[in-house]
């Protein structure tokens, strides 16, 4: 089969990790008889440097016409890069919000899986890790605080800033469905996380999730307050299967979940909407501190490419093959510096890509 993939390397380590993901995809294509046609696009700082904006309308239009979008990361060194002297709507990260909104990607799936061979890299004590954990955060991506009206004003000589958190029931319903559907394909446990003891949007969230839950009697639904969830993630991560939550809570909790897997360099993500067109990117940022040094872990991006095969192209076997290849390379002891432990073999970004591609056979 043939697929068109809009590829956005972005900034910092973006081009390095995208190169490795393409290497692995092409190998999978060769083994299984598929062709991936890449169109390289600019976004973030790379686009600001050329076009003065983080995402042009033409780039968005090209992305919309593709079968899927594969993204590295955007952004630079805050405080050092000139990009941050621009107004917020022209900074690199504004491109991310615009493409997510433009492609109507309202569901962000972030798996947090502790690989058996990386237990040593997990910062939690062995008795807490137990059998390990394998959860997924389903985060609402196009509503809530990050998209609400915001302003900074001066009142009575004092600066005052406000942001608004709004959800309507349809926005909650569609992400709740995505959460239940995800749980249905896994261990059938959905924990909806909110702050219903304080904020109205969370009270509506909880009601609507319960209503949607009636259509999924096979999925066990529970609620948890976000502060408790932050605590439970480090106290007993094995209790979670699917965490369903709104935009900002999901942003924070998925980073926390990612950290306890050992390295943010391991975690993929998929952003999905109503159609098959999805955007796939690692959960981490552009890591300007290690950019251009061949040190970045490409696994999160390679695993994101596997998610692309699964969710946008329905190539489950090929996706599993890539995930298995990552597992095999880890079990042979190869590590990038972020997950290195004594006794392992240190490799750079490009070598790690080669090793994973070799295992796809
Ligand atoms: P970051 O995720 O880029 O880096 C945090 C730490 O993790 C750094 O020490 C970095 O070296 C390390 N790290 C990240 N990815 C790694 C990998 N693949 N391999 C090895 N180590 C890795 O977060 P940050 O430093 O807070 O942000 C840097 C820039 O990235 C900022 O401009 C931020 O806005 C942007 N950002 C972009 C995205 C995105 O594009 N989706 C997401 C988060 C942050």
What is the rounded average pLDDT of the residues 101-105? 94
Q: Which pLDDT score, from 0 to 100, does residue 282 have?
A: 95
Q: Rounded to the nearest 5 degrees, what angle is found at the Cα of 336, between the Cα atoms of 327 and 29?
A: 50
Q: Do 127 and 252 reside in the same domain of the chain?
A: yes
72 or 117: whose pLDDT is higher? 72
Q: CA-CA distance, 306 to 320, in Å (whole number)?
A: 7
Mutate which of 11, 78, 263, 286 for ligand 1 pocket (most atoms within 8 A of beta carbon): 286
Q: Do 86 and 130 reside in the same domain of the chain?
A: no
Q: Which pLDDT score, from 0 to 100, does residue 122 have?
A: 86
In tens, the pLDDT along 16-73 reads 999 999 999 999 999 999 999 999 999 999 999 999 999 999 999 999 999 999 999 9
Q: What pTM did the predictor assign?
A: 0.90
Among protein residues, the one whose CA lies closest to atom 23 of ligand 1: 285
50 or 185: whose pLDDT is higher? 50
Q: Which pLDDT score, from 0 to 100, does residue 31 have?
A: 98
Q: Quick one: tokens of 344?
A: 């392992």
Percent of the chain having pLDDT more than 90?
Answer: 84
Q: Which pLDDT score, from 0 to 100, does residue 109 have?
A: 95
Q: Do 306 and 249 reside in the same domain of the chain?
A: no
Q: Which pLDDT score, from 0 to 100, does residue 351 have?
A: 98
**What is the distance, to the nearest Å, from the Cα of residue 204 to the centroid of all Cα atoms in its chain?**
26
Q: Do 286 and 198 reside in the same domain of the chain?
A: no
CA-based radius of gyration for the chain: 20
Q: Which pLDDT score, from 0 to 100, does residue 55 have?
A: 98
Please give the distance, rounded to the nearest whole angstrom, from the Cα atom of residue 287 to the centre of ligand 1.
4
Q: Does some domain include residue 102?
A: yes
Q: Do 73 and 129 reside in the same domain of the chain?
A: no
Beta carbon of 20 within 6 Å of any ligand 1 atom: no
Q: Which pLDDT score, from 0 to 100, does residue 60 have?
A: 98
Q: Do 230 and 305 reside in the same domain of the chain?
A: no
Q: CA-CA distance, 336 to 294, in Å (whole number)?
A: 9
Burial grade of 264 (CB within 10 A; 0-12, 13-18, 19 or more): middle
Q: Which pLDDT score, from 0 to 100, does residue 259 have?
A: 83
Q: CA-CA distance, 266 to 340, in Å (whole number)?
A: 13
**What is the distance, to the nearest Å, from the Cα of residue 299 to the centroid of all Cα atoms in its chain?**
13
Of 236, 260, 284, which marks where a domain is finished?
A: 260
Find out whether 289 is annotated in a ligand binding site. Answer: yes
Of 260, 286, 301, which marks where a domain is finished?
A: 260
Q: Do 168 and 248 reside in the same domain of the chain?
A: yes
Q: Do 38 and 160 reside in the same domain of the chain?
A: no
Q: Which pLDDT score, from 0 to 100, does residue 118 have?
A: 87
Q: Do 255 and 267 reside in the same domain of the chain?
A: no
Residue spans of beta strands (DSSP E) within 148-300:
150-155, 158-163, 189-194, 220-225, 242-245, 268-272, 278-282
Q: Do 336 and 278 reside in the same domain of the chain?
A: yes
Q: Which pLDDT score, from 0 to 100, does residue 82 have?
A: 87
Beta carbon of 7 within 6 Å of any ligand 1 atom: no
Beta carbon of 121 within 6 Å of any ligand 1 atom: no
Q: Does some domain include residue 112?
A: no
Q: CA-CA distance, 131 to 173, in Å (whole number)?
A: 33
Please give the distance, rounded to the nearest whole angstrom, from the Cα atom of residue 188 to the centre of ligand 1.
32
Helices (H) and strands (E) in the chain, counts: 12, 14
In tens, the pLDDT along 150-175 reads 999 999 999 999 999 999 999 999 99
Q: Which pLDDT score, from 0 to 100, does residue 263 have?
A: 79
Q: Which pLDDT score, from 0 to 100, does residue 144 have?
A: 96
Q: Does some domain include residue 114?
A: no
**Domain of 175: which CATH number?**
3.40.718.10
Distances (CA, A) of 281 to 9, 164, 321, 330: 10, 27, 19, 21
User: Would the CA dihedral through 78, 83, 86, 88 be positive or negative?
Assistant: negative
Q: Does some domain include residue 115?
A: no
Q: Does some domain include residue 117?
A: no
123 or 296: whose pLDDT is higher? 296
Strands 278-282 and 242-245 come out as unpaired
Q: Does some domain include residue 113?
A: no
Q: Which pLDDT score, from 0 to 100, does residue 341 have?
A: 86
- Tell whether the model's pLDDT for residue 110 goes beyond 90: yes
Please give the distance, rounded to the nearest whole angstrom, from the Cα atom of residue 20 to the centre of ligand 1.
17
Beta carbon of 105 within 6 Å of any ligand 1 atom: no
What letter would DSSP give residue 143? S
- Tell whether the model's pLDDT for residue 80 goes beyond 80: no
Please give the distance, rounded to the nearest whole angstrom, from the Cα atom of residue 155 to the centre of ligand 1.
36
Could you give the residue ranges of the DSSP H alpha helices within the chain? 14-32, 45-51, 57-65, 92-102, 126-129, 169-184, 200-213, 226-235, 247-259, 299-311, 316-331, 349-359
Could you identify the residue written with the tokens 């990790």?
17
Calculate the average pLDDT of the chain: 95
Please give the distance, rounded to the nearest whole angstrom, from the Cα atom of residue 92 to the centre of ligand 1.
13
At residue 40, the 3 state secondary structure works out as strand
Q: Do 37 and 16 reside in the same domain of the chain?
A: yes
Beta carbon of 285 within 6 Å of any ligand 1 atom: yes
Q: Do 256 and 127 reside in the same domain of the chain?
A: yes
Q: Quick one: tokens of 280?
A: 């796939």
Could you identify the residue written with the tokens 């390095």?
16
What is the rounded average pLDDT of the residues 196-211? 98
Whole domain around residue 209: which residue ranges? Answer: 123-260
Among protein residues, the one whose CA lies closest to atom 42 of ligand 1: 285
Could you report how far apart the first and last alpha carbons of the chain are, in Å?
Answer: 18
- If one counts the domains in the chain, the total is 2
Among protein residues, the one whose CA lies closest to atom 30 of ligand 1: 285
Q: Which pLDDT score, from 0 to 100, does residue 120 have?
A: 81
- Tell whether the model's pLDDT for residue 332 goes beyond 90: yes
Q: Does some domain include residue 149?
A: yes
What is the rounded average pLDDT of the residues 107-125? 89
| Cβ atoms 259, 237 nearer than 8 A | no
Q: Which pLDDT score, from 0 to 100, does residue 233 have?
A: 95
In tens, the pLDDT along 231-249 reads 999 999 999 999 999 999 9
Of 234, 260, 286, which marks where a domain is finished?
A: 260
Query: Which residues participate in catalysis according to the annotation?
Result: 146, 195, 227, 251, 255
Q: Does some domain include residue 299?
A: yes
- Tell whether the model's pLDDT for residue 269 goes beyond 80: yes
Beta carbon of 18 within 6 Å of any ligand 1 atom: no
Q: Which pLDDT score, from 0 to 100, does residue 261 have?
A: 85
Q: Which pLDDT score, from 0 to 100, does residue 280 have?
A: 98
| Cβ atoms 3, 37 nearer than 8 A | yes
Complete DSSP assignment for 286-335:
--TTTTTTT----HHHHHHHHHHHHHTT--HHHHHHHHHHHHHHHHTTEE
């Amino acid at each position: 089969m043939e697929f068109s993939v809009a590829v956005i390397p972005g900034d910092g380590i973006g081009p390095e990790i995208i190169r490795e993901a393409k290497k692995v995809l092409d190998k999978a294509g060769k083994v299984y008889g598929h062709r991936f046609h890449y169109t390289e696009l600019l976004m973030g700082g790379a686009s600001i440097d050329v076009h003065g904006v983080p995402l042009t309308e033409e780039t968005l239009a090209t992305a919309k016409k593709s079968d899927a979008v594969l993204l590295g990361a955007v952004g630079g060194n805050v405080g050092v890069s000139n990009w941050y002297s621009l107004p917020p709507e022209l900074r690199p990260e504004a491109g991310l919000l615009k493409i997510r909104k433009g492609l109507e990607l309202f569901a962000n799936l972030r798996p947090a899986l502790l690989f058996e061979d990386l237990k040593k890299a997990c910062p939690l004590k062995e008795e807490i890790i137990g059998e390990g954990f394998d959860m997924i955060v389903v985060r609402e991506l196009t509503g809530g605080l990050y998209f609400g009206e915001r302003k900074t004003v001066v009142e009575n000589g004092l600066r005052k800033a406000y942001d608004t958190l709004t959800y309507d029931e349809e926005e909650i319903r569609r992400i709740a469905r995505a959460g239940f559907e995800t749980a249905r394909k896994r261990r059938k446990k959905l924990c909806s996380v909110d702050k219903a003891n304080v904020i109205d949007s969370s009270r509506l969230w909880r009601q609507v999730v319960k209503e949607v839950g009636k259509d999924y009697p096979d999925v066990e639904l529970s609620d948890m307050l976000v502060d408790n969830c932050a605590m439970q993630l480090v106290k007993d991560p094995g209790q979670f299967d699917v965490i369903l939550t709104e935009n900002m809570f999901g942003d924070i909790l998925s980073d926390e979940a990612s950290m306890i897997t050992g390295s943010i360099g391991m975690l993929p993500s998929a952003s999905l909407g109503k159609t098959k067109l999805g955007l796939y990117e690692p959960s981490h940022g552009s890591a300007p501190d290690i950019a251009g040094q061949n040190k970045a872990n490409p696994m999160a991006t390679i695993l994101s490419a596997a998610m692309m095969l699964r969710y946008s192209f329905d190539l489950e076997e090929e996706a599993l093959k890539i995930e298995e290849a990552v597992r095999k390379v880890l079990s042979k002891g190869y590590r990038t510096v972020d997950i290195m432990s004594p006794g392992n073999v240190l490799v750079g970004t490009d070598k790690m890509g080669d090793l994973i591609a070799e295992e796809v056979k």
